[in-house]
Homo-oligomer: A and B are copies of this chain.
């Protein structure tokens, strides 16, 4: 999420009542969770396991619960609870949901775009030309929809990231300030749900087609001309390159990459990154031919064991 303008480190420190260390003259212009930071961004880290990753990232300002040494050119905000303080900044800079009316007056929709009855669209949404939004679709604030896009009935675009921190008293939610960006010629099936980025954007690349009941998690980036059959579930922070085909009910775990042109057969479960231009099957997923061989071998095991026993 971009801040409305650049802020000096001291002003951020005052908002969250944090002590500063490092370069106080750094100017800060964005808020981003670690998986998608750019220079100028404020990020946060509250677990020693991730200190190095965040300290060495592109982030210019880091909210941290340690008196770590500040890398050159950055500024640290020392906090007893970086998660809480990052949420404080989001709450301060991010305008809250505006969707009480059916279509918010700030929504811009292009020529020849059809918005059917029963659609609800939040503030600052932009929809391109020649797109069709079927009844019951809900588009949360700030999302951007391209040209010649079709969104079928009751799909939800831009619901919050499912991102929680466990506290002794229960789960604490990281506030979402990101968007969904949908490219030209995309088709979204009925009752699909596309979560917005927690601080950055969930992106659906040009020409990608999704059947009904597909779920896409926060900050996931999907390439061009992908094809997802019904009931595919994709977690957050996933990268899916161009021309990937996922058949029905495939599940994709978070924080991994599926290479260009990969094909994944129905009901497969993907726990780690996959190379492109191969066909996969199984839960957990494997090369489809190897998996088929394995299934055949298991089927013939009783006779193999029999033979071995009688040797």
Contact = CB atoms under 8 A, between A and B. Distances in A.
A189 interface: yes
Copies in the complex: 3
Contacts of A74: none
Contacts of A305: 304, 308
Interface stretch (A3-11, A12-20, A80-88, A134-142): A134-142
A266 B294 contact: no
Interface string A219-244: 00000110101110101000000000
B207 A233 contact: no
Interface in A230-283: 230-231, 233, 235, 248-249, 251, 253, 266-267, 269, 271, 283
Contact of A170 (B170, B225, B294): B225
Report which residue of A101, A132, A136, A299 has the largest number of chain B beta carbons within 10 angstroms of its beta carbon.
A136
Interface string A289-311: 00000110111011011001101
Interface in A163-194: 164, 170-171, 173, 185, 187, 189-191, 193
Contacts of A298: 294, 298, 301
Interface string A17-40: 000000000000000000000000
Contact of A138 (B134, B150, B235, B248): B134
In this complex, the interface size class of chain A, counting residues with CB under 8 Å from chain B, is 35 or more
A156 B227 contact: no
Contacts of A159: 134, 152-153, 189-190, 212
Contact of A116 (B99, B191, B212, B224): B99
B171 A154 contact: no
Interface string A91-111: 000000101111000000000
Contact of A114 (B100, B118, B283, B299): B100
B213 A185 contact: no
Contact of A120 (B136, B224, B297): B136
A160 interface: yes
A117 interface: yes
Given A136-B138, A225-B171, A269-B266, A215 B212 contact: yes
A173 B132 CA distance: 15
B267 A164 contact: no
Interface string A30-60: 0000000000000000000000000000000
Nearest to A245: B166
Nearest to A308: B308
30 contacts: A97-B114, A99-B117, A100-B117, A101-B117, A116-B120, A117-B120, A118-B136, A118-B138, A120-B136, A136-B136, A153-B156, A154-B154, A159-B190, A162-B189, A162-B212, A164-B209, A164-B227, A170-B206, A171-B227, A190-B195, A193-B212, A213-B213, A230-B235, A248-B251, A251-B267, A266-B283, A267-B283, A297-B301, A308-B308, A308-B309
